[in-house]
Amino acid sequence: MKKHIIVSMAVILVASSLPALISAQTSTPTPESNSNLQCQNLWWFDNDHQSCSQKQFCGAYMYFGLRTFESQDECGAALASTPTSTAVPTPQPIVKGISENELHQSLDIKEIRGLRVCQELERCPFNVGEKPYIETLIKAAKVSEVAGDYLKISIFGIAYGVDLKEAKLVRQYWANSEIDEFSVGDLINVFGYLDESDNYLIHAKTVRDLSLQKNRGVFKGVIGTITLPDSFVLQTAEAGDYNVLVLDDSKIIKSEIIACTPTLTVPQSEIKCSSSTSTAATFNDLKTGDTAIVRGVWDSTAQKIQAESIIIGSDSRPFFQNADKVKEQVQKRIGNMLNQMEKKIESRETLKSRIQELQNRINDMLMQLKLRSGGK
């Protein structure tokens, strides 16, 4: 049975214990209606799914790498003529510090008051005001893309988009988080509701990043001096400079923005596309002057970070979008620090001059006393 048919029927793909995520959810999701969108059944494949399948597409559905066709034969012919892309290293899951129980994946999709039945009947046989929707609970999905208000995740070979516009982001131990702290390769829990027309889009209410540990810090700044073979200085706007030690198991991830191409039927302004792609990088990819997000164990006394992951490049999350401003802030902090050092030096020189002046006056006074006493 095809994946999208399974989701439409709201079959629970994996039966396992529900994570603690749901217990922290305080409000019931209430999705907006998308009933006015025009939909059509098309054959398709994309960069992640190299086989022809059929599913329903609605609204501005186009994204980077997606190709759609009216018939299976057209899809098959296009797929056969598509050159195989060169494999690039992808970031591995970040599982350090996650308990075995948290690593058990599960995907729970269930209808609340029969949404699919309403769509087939073109009416809802329920009480007025009781809007149907589909509740989604995902445990230990891998993040494959990070954007400003969007994540792309994968679980059991299925790729889902996660809309974060109304989501609360938290760390593993439930402290508040932000999208800048998330990384490709993170394992996350997602609670929310399935889009009414897109079976692969989740509108999240709570997202818990299991890879963000309690004793780990997240530091954002500009790469300064690089010392081969395994360390560099991270210059931050507010907290000063940190010496970052890159270990053998440190993960370096390079993120790059993908430009989307409009089609004849979907203009650029309406394209819903992937905003970035991430690949595994090496120490040689670190460049002085580039912005970076470093996650790891922090030694506050020595101002050192043992890096677990380092994110470089650029994507649509706020930190990278404000890279120029971050660099200006770092330069301003360094400038202020240099000014303070110069003032201290000037102060020391002034103090030295005053001491010399006092010493000369004392010598003069001693000489005068000696003369008054007849040179004795």
pLDDT of residue 370: 67
Whole-angstrom CA distances from 269 to 63, 252, 256 are 12, 33, 20
Q: Which long-range contacts (CB under 8 A, 24 or more apart) does 259-265 make?
A: 260/62, 260/63, 260/64, 261/64, 263/62
For strands 201-209 and 158-163, give the pairing: parallel
Alpha helices in the chain (DSSP H): 3-8, 72-81, 115-121, 318-321, 323-372
Q: What is the pLDDT of residues 275-293, one digit of tens each?
A: 678 888 999 999 999 999 9
pLDDT at position 174: 94
Helix, strand, coil tally for the chain in percent (to 5): 25, 35, 40
Secondary structure letter of residue 133 according to DSSP: E
The segments of the chain whose pLDDT lies below 70 read 1-37, 48, 59-64, 83-90, 113-117, 119, 124-130, 259-275, 343, 346-347, 349, 365-366, 368-376
Residues 6 or more apart whose CB falls under 8 angstroms from that of 156 comprise 13, 14, 105, 107
DSSP per residue over 139-168, as a string? EEEEEEEE-SSEEEEEETTEEEEEE-TTPE
Helix (H, G, I), strand (E, B) or coil at 199: coil
DSSP per-residue letters across 231-269: EEEEE-SSS-EEEEEEEEEEEEEEEEE------SSS-GG
Determine contact, residues 181/210, Cβ cutoff 8 Å.
no
Q: Whose CA is closest to 317, among 173, 232, 220, 204?
A: 220
What is the token pair recorded at 253? 């991830």
**Cβ-count burial of 2 within 10 angstroms (0-12 exposed, 13-18 middle, 19+ buried)?**
exposed
Signed CA dihedral, 346, 351, 356, 357: sign only:
positive
What angle (nearest 5°) sits at the alpha carbon of residue 117, between those of residues 113 and 123? 90
Q: What is the pTM of this model?
A: 0.65
Model pLDDT, residue 20: 43
In order of their start, the domains of the chain are 3-209 (no CATH), 217-325 (2.40.50)
- Predicted pLDDT at 126: 62
What pLDDT is attached to residue 287? 94
List, in order, residues 6 or more apart from 102 with CB less than 8 Å away.
19, 139, 140, 172, 187, 210
